[in-house]
A and B are shown apart, each in its own frame.
Chain A
Amino acid sequence: MAPVRYLRWHTLLGILPFPYPVGVSPFRRCATPLVRGRVPPIRSGRLSSSLPRSTVDGACTEPPFRTVRRKGLSIKGFPSRGIALLGWFLVGTLLGPILAPDEAGAGLIEERKQRQSCFGCHSAPEGTTRFERDAETGEMQEVGIDWTRYGHGVHQEVECQECHTKGFATYPHSDKKTYTCMGCHARETTDNPTGEKATGRERALKFEEWEAEFLDTVHYTEHGREAHFPQHRKRAIDHEGEDYFKCEQCHDPHYFPLAEDMASVDEIMDTHNRWCVRCHSAEAEKTLAPEFDPRLLIGGEAAPVPEDLKGKETKTPPLADPADPSLKAEHAYLPHPGAHLRKTRCIECHTSNENPVSHELLVENAEKGCATCHNQDSVLLSTLYRHRAPLPKIGWQAQHSFFLKTGYELEEDPDGTGTAGSPEGKGEHPPTKGLDRYAGPRLGFVNATILEDSYVMGSTRNTALDWLAYVLVGVALAFVLMHALLRLLRGIFLRD
């Protein structure tokens, strides 16, 4: 029963934290622990006196080296320590998935279980796609969802069957019904945002207003549902599978990211501009055809008009104006059109400045003035930079310091909505959700919020340098005036 005794004793060692106090290597050839300077005492009953002992200098003296075993166990603690280690390894392996933190959109958390039943067929990680044949129509449909991207989108908390509400609980899917945008969002009020599905956001999203604005735009009147299917009731949204310009063209319901969740202004710009540039660029004609339904390009050169749609061509080919011949050429009235196209969003000028989230499309009456952006009260602060302003955590000193002003006075929740105040009353300023940015004064620059990303002439002045300007030029003027006065008094002009 010696092994049991060993096991009992050395199991305790097995629960000590790593590293084990090593005095014994299971791979050593000597029977006894090697201790410098002394020979370990022989414990009676434990070791046979016939085993060789180590010498004082710690080397085994027994030539040649061979494994020494005593009833299968030669080394103190071996193999029981090994068994204990193996045991903990197995426990860790089994417990790991249970204790590991859950990633958004995945994991074993109870609330997310519903979407997992969809994962099996509908998973398509980034760079891949997935097609399935529709059970009812027999057509191949793209059904892949990138779950990581889904977890970063605005609907990350929404389970699949909250929108794909009927017919999807079982396979094959039949009698399908999917809510579109207005299905959930039409019933929003301030007290009950997103209809019955409260998101915790305190301001209501004005979907009805946005739909009304969209219905007035050329995107709808010439490329929307009514243009293609005039017999249907005039609504922005659709039946599934019908292809025309609708909310989802720009706002992919699976992946749409909120601007306030995006880390940088560049990301916001890139995301928002991509929706426009998909169609409105000279290169779009070459790249659009595979991704886009050719019915949206009716009349354009990218695809000839299909037979069944002849006679329904839109009045203006979609890419002829304003992107003909190119975006840059169309915007040539601007000084430095390339810089403007690179560093602003299309919607800064092509939607209304009155409302920061506007779906009005301004074409002829688009913003063409310079000073709306290029001045200290830049409208950019309530559009592109609205999620970065006002700077959070700015101290009293920086607010009130003459030298360190950032161009705003920070108001503590002036309208009681839980959001920080808006400068000059422009637009809304949702709270910057946990964005961890340095919020201190920035070397005396006005609108440091904007300057963080790019220098905008006229908006990012430096108060210190401005005062230097006033002082220097003022001193020069003062000198001149004083000198002239003195000369006048001395009658110099009358001399000679």
Chain B
Amino acid sequence: MARADASVVPVSVRIWHWLTAALFLVLTLTGIDLHFADADSALIMDYGWANSLHDWTGLALSGIYVAFLVLALGTGYGRNYVPEWRGLGGEVRHQIGVYLRGGDPQIGAETRFNPLQRLSYLLIVFGVLPLLVVTGLIFLYYPGIAPQRFMGMAGLWPIAQGHYLLAILGTAFLVVHIYMGLLGPGATAKLKRMVRGSSDQGPGSHP
């Protein structure tokens, strides 16, 4: 994505990003093992190990997420996620049109994310992730919060299925996000940007 000003990704954001990525990946893999359990063979690892790992990793992610919230809301970084609601539909349509024609959408200097990015990142970072954390914590520590019975069955199932549904959305996002991270000019430009802060192509050029 072209930027008039190749703004540097702050260190804290980069640390948060990679920590979250790693933890989320572990959570997804262990979660698959827990959900699609089979008596005869484990999909990825032993069920008990997967359970313990999922629990501890989830707790770590919860802590890191809280730290990110403090960061985002405290420093104003969170403003990057808020889309321009007015005319959003038109902007998104325009952006998709540009992609379909094979071009790059030009975005302004002050913005880090293009409109589609803003929208999707907002939904993931401030929608899916916190709800995953909350449902996971209820599952783990506070199952009493869930109703005793819900629609004739044990009351924990909406929490459990909500957690699973959000995980599905997160996994689908993960797949697309990883791929798009490899879409920079050259396979690693965006990766370098997220590791080093900026790509080594200087200001004013494609990051």
Contact = CB atoms under 8 A, between A and B. Distances in A.
B168 A484 contact: no
A372 interface: yes
Interface stretch (B11-19, B44-52, B111-119): B44-52
B42 interface: yes
Nearest to B178: A480
A400 interface: no
Given A335-B52, A371-B39, A451 B154 contact: yes
Contacts of A377: 39
B132 to A, nearest CB: 15
Interface residues of B, number: 37
B164 A465 contact: yes
Contact of B37 (A452, A458, A480): A458
Interface residues of A, number: 42
A374 interface: yes
Given A335-B55, A462-B161, A473 B154 contact: no
B157 A469 contact: no
A376 interface: yes
A45 to B, nearest CB: 73
A455 B55 contact: no
Nearest to B146: A455
Interface stretch (B69-77, B85-93, B179-187, B192-200): B179-187
A36 to B, nearest CB: 58
Nearest to B46: A370
Interface in B157-207: 157, 160-161, 164-165, 168-169, 171-173, 175-176, 179, 185-187, 206
A484 B179 contact: yes
Given A459-B37, A473-B172, 13 more contacts: A335-B51, A369-B48, A370-B37, A438-B152, A442-B153, A443-B151, A445-B153, A448-B153, A453-B154, A454-B154, A458-B37, A472-B171, A493-B187
Which 8 pairs show the lowest CB-CB distances between chains A and B? A458-B37, A370-B47, A476-B172, A455-B156, A375-B37, A476-B175, A480-B179, A469-B168
Interface of A: 334-335, 369-372, 374-377, 379, 438, 442-443, 445, 448, 451-455, 457-462, 465, 468-469, 472-473, 475-477, 479-480, 483-484, 490, 493, 496
